[in-house]
Chains A and B, each alone.
Chain A
Amino acid sequence: MSHRARFAVFVIGVAGLAVLYVLAAFRLPDFGGRFHPYGERAVTSAIAERTKNVVSSVNFDQRAFDTVGEELILFASALGAVVLLRTVRREREEEAGEHGYGPADVFDALRLTGYALLPVTLLIGVYIVAHGHLSPGGGFQGGVVLGTALHLLYLTGDYPALDRLRPVPAFEAGEALAAGVFVILGLAGAGLVIPMNAMVGLEVGCAIVLVLTKFFEQALLVRTDEAGKGEGT
């Protein structure tokens, strides 16, 4: 389909969508209105369960079974990304540190900041996971902090150190274990906000580390054997 034909189809489709959407939008309840029946029930139920963060309560208590589905989406797409980015036969993977990704390229101040922030960031991640039922935060948010914290080591220019601190099989096991335990908790029933938060934190952290590992390998380590092709540095 040519560009022009495709654009014409797009314009027709979008015009229809826009008209229907505007008509629908004006039939929706007023912005900022008072009528929130589900919200009020969720708040009442969360306070009865003493979960002060109602969003956590909805996700891990009232709708825990639905969150299992969300969790499995996360698991499946992390798995998909890892499978897609595996090293294929024509390629070979270099050892970390074969090239100069070492500390030499980075300012000392940046390196020190990275090393100093690593434990602090890990601590904040654990805090956000552990306090998810009381204050804003939870497993998903804290897991992202935990997963990205390790990559401060990459910012310090020390890819070999990141590689040593990040045993991939351990993270794979952690990811699978967390997903399995989460499914069991989700089937077990209500009122398990804290362990579910912890499992989600573990799983999200592991998934991020695994996916970023694969992207890093693609960018830094994987080379195609045919000379000159795929040298994407």
Chain B
Amino acid sequence: MSHLPYLAAGWILLAGIFGMVTSRNLVHVVVCLSVTQSATYVLLLTIGYRKGGTAPVFSDIKPTGKVVDPVVQAMALTDIVVNATVTALLLALAVQVAKRRGTIDPDQLRPLE
């Protein structure tokens, strides 16, 4: 059972991809992409977890205290920032598509004119 969290991350990834493939709405696609990317948060934090470890902040614990891996936590932070900015950019694209084509259903969109 010690590999269950890795499998959970994989499951979230596949659920997000499934949502993107079957989506009928561009905003929904963007949200599904966020779900897909959140699989990487779970994967990173899973790799960094250490049994009995606490947060890697030494304000109130001794420097010898047992903490989880801070490197992957920093990467998860990077990941979240990139996710937020990519979401903003894609939503801006969805706004433009809605304005220019009058639809946000990916199936109604034709290749570039």
Binding site for B on A (CB under 8 A): 3, 6-7, 10, 14, 17-18, 21-22, 25-26, 28-34, 36, 38-39, 42-43, 46-47, 52-55, 57-59, 63, 66-67, 70, 73-74, 77-78, 80-81, 84-85, 134-136, 138, 140, 204, 207, 211, 214-215, 218, 224, 229-230, 232
15 contacts across the A-B interface (CB closer than 8 A): A7-B22, A18-B10, A22-B10, A25-B7, A39-B72, A42-B70, A55-B73, A55-B77, A58-B71, A70-B81, A74-B85, A78-B85, A84-B93, A85-B96, A232-B98
Give residues 47-102 of B contacting A (CB, 8 Å). Answer: 47-51, 55-59, 63, 67-74, 77-78, 80-82, 85-86, 88-89, 91-93, 95-96, 98-99, 102
Residue from B2, B49, B88, B102 with most neighbouring chain A CB atoms (10 Å): B88
Q: How far is the CB of A37 from chain B (nearest CB, A)?
A: 9
- Taking a contact as CB atoms closer than 8 A, the residue among A21, A70, A136 that contacts B57 in the complex is A136
Asked if B17 is at the interface of the complex by the 8 Å CB criterion, the answer is yes
Contact A85 B92 (CB under 8 A): yes
Asked if B46 is at the interface of the complex by the 8 Å CB criterion, the answer is yes
Contact B74 A63 (CB under 8 A): yes
In the docked arrangement, what's the CA distance between A57 and B87, Å?
27
Q: What chain B residues lie within 8 Å of A211 (beta carbons)? A: 88, 92
Contact B70 A54 (CB under 8 A): yes
A77-B71 contact given A70-B78, A135-B59, CB 8 Å threshold: no
Asked if B112 is at the interface of the complex by the 8 Å CB criterion, the answer is no
Contact B95 A25 (CB under 8 A): no
Q: What chain B residues lie within 8 Å of A55 (beta carbons)? A: 56-57, 70, 73-74, 77
**Size band of the interface chain B makes with A:** 35 or more
In the docked arrangement, what's the CA distance between A17 and B74, Å?
27
Contact A134 B59 (CB under 8 A): yes
Q: What chain B residues lie within 8 Å of A3 (beta carbons)? A: 107
Contact A43 B70 (CB under 8 A): yes
Q: How far is the CB of B106 from chain A (nearest CB, A)?
A: 11
